[in-house]
Structure formats: C-alpha cells, structure tokens
Amino acid sequence: MSDFLPIGYIAKSHGLKGGLTLSLADIDASMLKTVFIELNREKVPYKISSLTGNGSKCYALLEGVTTVEEALLLKGSKIFLHKNDVAVPEAILFENEIANFSAIDKLRGNIGLVNGLQHLGGIAYIAVTTPLQKEVLIPSNSPFIKSIKKREKKIHVELPDNYPGL
C-alpha cells in the first residue's frame, strides 16, 4: 500500500516570487504544513511557508521555490500528503486501494469491477470495467458517488439512465 494520499496538482505559477496556484481535493487546506510533490516519479517534500484560500483553489509559497522559473518547473505536478500527516476518513481511499472494488449502482446493481483511477484534464475518474468489457469512467468528485465501503470493497453510485457505457 502506498504511504501517500493524492490531494491535487499544481495548476500554474502565481506572481513573481515562486508562488503557485494549487488545485486541491475537497480538504481543509489550512491544515497543510508539508506536501509531497511528484517529480521524476519521486515524492519530494516541500514545506509550505504561506497559504491563502481554501477549498479547491489555493495560492501557496513553498520553501525553496523563489522564482517564476522554479515555479513553472512544478506546473502540472501531482500533490500528495503522507498518510501519517492526516486523519484519513473512511470515504477517502489511497489511489492504489481502489482497484478491485465493486461498483454498485442504485438501480442496476453491480455494474462492474473498478480498475483504478484515470486522470484526465485535471479530474480523477474511477475506471470501471463492465461485465461486457466496456470501460465506464465516473468522476471521482461527482454527485454520482454515494458511498464508499472500504471493508466491503464497494463503491455505491447513482448514475443516470443514459450514462455513457451502460
């Protein structure tokens, strides 16, 4: 199991002194002291020296990032928290934990097996393979996700009648 929880990505540089615009999952950003940024497949720790905003869009200054050029090198990088740095609620999964969960739709029942997450356009999608071997992508931050049961390895969803792939 991975020791890191993905929480977002660096959207762009901000200002002239190495500031960054962060796109974050629905977390309390005020609790962030250190984040890990994925660089060359390694998770590198950065201490946060300043953070403004809350919710999905924040502005941050990281120790050691002091120029626009340094900030631009981080653009698009994934941001993680170490699992020991945050209390992880039952509904939050580490990215590698989601594989092999059953996707259960309210009306259709079991719609397939979760393969993992796919990141497209800054959004994480839950990738489900149906019994007919079709792939269905469900936005992980959408109102379609009703509950996640880690112990049962089930994700309960409520998808519209005309949902693509079903």
Same domain, 102 and 128: yes
Range of the domain at 100: 95-157
How many whole angstroms separate alpha carbon 98 and alpha carbon 5?
12
Q: Answer yes or no: is 90 within a domain.
A: no
Whether 138 and 157 have beta carbons less than 8 Å apart is answered as yes
N-term to C-term CA, the chain: 31
How many whole angstroms separate alpha carbon 60 and alpha carbon 106?
40
pLDDT in tens, 43-89: 999 999 998 886 678 899 999 999 999 999 999 999 988 877 765 55
pLDDT in tens, 114-160: 998 887 877 788 999 999 999 999 988 778 888 888 889 999 999 99
Q: Which of 43, 67, 85 is the last residue of a domain?
A: 85
Q: Answer yes or no: is 153 within a domain.
A: yes
Same domain, 71 and 131: no
Q: Helices marked H in the chain — which ranges?
A: 68-74
Same domain, 107 and 39: no
Same domain, 99 and 145: yes
